[in-house]
Structure 1
Amino acid sequence: MSIYDTLAELNITLPPVAVPAAAYVPFVQTGNLVFLSGHIAKKDGKPWVGQLGKNTTTEEGKAAARAIAIDLMGTLHAAVGDLNRVTRIVKLMSLVNSTGDFTEQHLVTNGASELIGQVFGTKGAHARSAFGVAQIPMGACVEIEMIVEVA
């Protein structure tokens, strides 16, 4: 089954690439690896603002991470032209805007990891890091970057 068939079954429409908010590019390809810059969580087209452990729940953070995964796939599609070229999702790195005593960054990041696995199957099994940070640009609750291998 095509990646696009899976996305359609999940009712997911890929967004266009977001315009970078600073001095960087949305992706860089070197050889067979594509590095996607960090994408912040958005809700209704605006930064999904919040801090886990203060005013955002783990489930809300997980939904934000899932939304980022959709944005990342949109950027990846723009980078490589066809998501069926993906041979492996290599790694996700997740930054979770959280209080010092919040310890569920890994559960928040599952929102992205689980969707990537659903869409890409065994090619979506990836290495991952999830960090708690004091702040993310524009007050967003989560930011995720991704490294992908393509044919």
Structure 2
Amino acid sequence: MAKRENPVYAYVRASQAHGYGHIYIDCFELFGYSGPTLRLSCQMGGESHTTSYAWEFGLSNDYGVIGEYACHKGYLLMRRANRVLKELNDTVGYSANFANYAVRALQAAGVRKVYFNDNLRGEIGGKGVKELPCLDTKREPDLLEKAIFDMESTLILLMRR
């Protein structure tokens, strides 16, 4: 019997407008239905010209309300992920950049597949998300961290102009 593929995945995208850049990482299928249920994000620009800030990690749903089941499952997921992140912070130190923070948080949440959109306008040109390049948080954490770091660095440079 073939091993069943885990449907959970994340999608990394960037946006820029009005002198600010954002990176969003939306996780899908964590609770068995479509729509983002966990989001990581950061911002750059404004008064800060050298680094990203406002790193966030939490429940999100752009498609409607988050019901009791998703809230409960989300609470359990966040509790577990935050515990893992705290242990990492205590043993190896705090993340120096958003890219490292994001990879740690994705691993803590149990997300393996990460589809990466390097178009800084967030457009995927008629492709489906799953047609984009994919990196694995366990097998390729360094490559994923570098890809997110490069996106973050590029946005920071764009915000300086």
TM score, norm. by length of structure 1? 0.29
Kindly indicate whether structure 1 or structure 2 has the higher relative contact order, using CA contacts under 8 Å at least 6 residues apart: 1
TM-score (norm 2): 0.28
Higher Cα Rg, which structure: 2
